[in-house]
Amino acid sequence: MNMFKERKKRRNSDFPEAAYAWMALLESGDITPEEFENYLDWRDSDLSHMAAMEELQKEWKEICKVPVPQPHERPGDIHSRNGSKQWNWGFGRFITQLISRPSYRAGIAFAFIMVVFGAGFYHYMVPVTETEKTHVFSTVRAEMKTITLDDGSTVHLNAQSRIKVDYTSNQRNITLEQGEALFVVSHNPVRPFLVYAGDGKVQAIGTQFNVKLMPDFNVMVTLVEGVIRITQDIDKHEGLARILKIPGEMASLRPFFDIDGDMTQENLPEIKITRHNSDPFQDVLSWREGKLVFQGQRLDNVLYEINRHSNHRIILKNKKTEGLPVYAVFNTGDWQGALSAIVKSYPVKAVHVSNDETHLVAKDE
């Protein structure tokens, strides 16, 4: 009984009224990119805002666990899945319209408190056990894989890549430990979808984006659809944050290396935003179409990509040519065609070391 009184007292705490309005809008599924950006700004502007949203999200999950009685079918009634989805979508729009009217906001806040309080009582009557699920998925050279996660989200894993999936009832965490992945996220605003790579973190809401972890720990994030928020938190240093909301926008995250406390411009963390083709599948995500498109990338990085998609390794021994730009399109797995084009275009020659390895050396060697 004491536990229930303590929980009741906590539920009657004064949350900011805006927290209830934001919660309703997020749950409606009808939030726009501008509204989502405004929500993130409001949430991060005050620690109490963040704490309020975390608390409300926890309570909303408890509400969702309460079974809803279904009416018995009667002649002439139609209870279809499609009808249910349409009703939910309509309800979301109704809530969204309500919260846009100041006269209704207090009522929504009060109603939300009542529902949360009732769910809390049910939670103590019927305990719910939270379970964690951690899985690891990986690919080898010349292999790509598509993974459907428990929440319906999809991960397209590029060659020689590895992710760790850690799902709980509160949030969806994915760590890109190696390589590259394209994420198609299932919408669930009260269960954040977070992708960690190097020093960066990507937060998504019902969207598509690509994350690539380079061998030097630079991270490249490309937005395909929707809105994502990228942060880079480095120990005691102030975290960086950027919003991507235009398809084709790319964020480049430079890793932070604290060299004996030397805070020079060269080793400070950085998130650089650039705009690529409006259709990312024409260049950055061309690997999904079986193509490798290069538009000025360094030769050493190009060979890294070619090697990931082939069982034959091409190793650049001529260090003077590492930074030469490459403009070309190759088929994934066609290492012979790529090798032939590189030898014709750059001051290198091919030396076949074995059946699965070729070295590129200076032509005069």
Which domains can be identified in the chain, with CATH numbers?
A: 2-66+81-125 (no CATH), 133-280 (2.60.120.1440), 290-362 (3.55.50.30)
List the alpha helices (DSSP H) in 270-354.
299-308, 335-345
Say yes or no to pLDDT of 320 above 60.
yes
255: confidence class by pLDDT, cuts 50, 70, 90: confident
pLDDT value of position 30: 62
Q: What percent of the chain has pLDDT over 70?
A: 67
39: confidence class by pLDDT, cuts 50, 70, 90: confident
Largest Cα–Cα distance of the chain, in whole Å? 88
- pLDDT tens for 153-202 read 999 999 999 999 999 988 899 999 999 999 999 988 788 999 999 889 99
For CA atoms 338, 343, 348, 349, give the dihedral sign.
positive
42-46, 141-145, 198-202, 312-316 — which is least confidently predicted?
A: 42-46
Q: What is the mean pLDDT of residues 300-322?
A: 95
Torsions phi, psi for 57 (to 5 deg): -65, -40
Q: What is the mean pLDDT of residues 49-64?
A: 72
* b/e code 242-274 from CB counts within 10 Å (16+ = b): bbbbebbbbbbbbbbeeeeeeeeeeeebebeee
- pLDDT tens for 279-296 read 788 888 999 999 999 999
Name beta bridge partners: 182: 156, 210
Q: What is residue 254's three-state secondary structure?
A: strand
Higher-pLDDT residue of 84 and 352 is 352
Mean pLDDT of the chain: 77
61: confidence class by pLDDT, cuts 50, 70, 90: low
Provide the token pair at 54. 């975390």
Q: What is the mean pLDDT of residues 19-36?
A: 72
Higher-pLDDT residue of 305 and 260 is 305
Torsions phi, psi for 245 (to 5 deg): -140, 5
What's the half-sphere exposure (Cβ side, CA atoms, 13 Å) at 31? 27
CB contact set of 306 (below 8 Å; sequence gap of 6+): 292, 314, 330, 335, 338
Alpha carbon separation from 78 to 73, 82, 243 (Å, rounded): 8, 10, 43
CA distance 170 to 13: 21
150: confidence class by pLDDT, cuts 50, 70, 90: very high
79: confidence class by pLDDT, cuts 50, 70, 90: very low
Alpha carbon separation from 20 to 16, 35, 56, 62, 200 (Å, rounded): 8, 15, 8, 16, 30
Provide the token pair at 119. 């769910």
Helix and strand counts by DSSP (H, E) for the chain: 8, 18
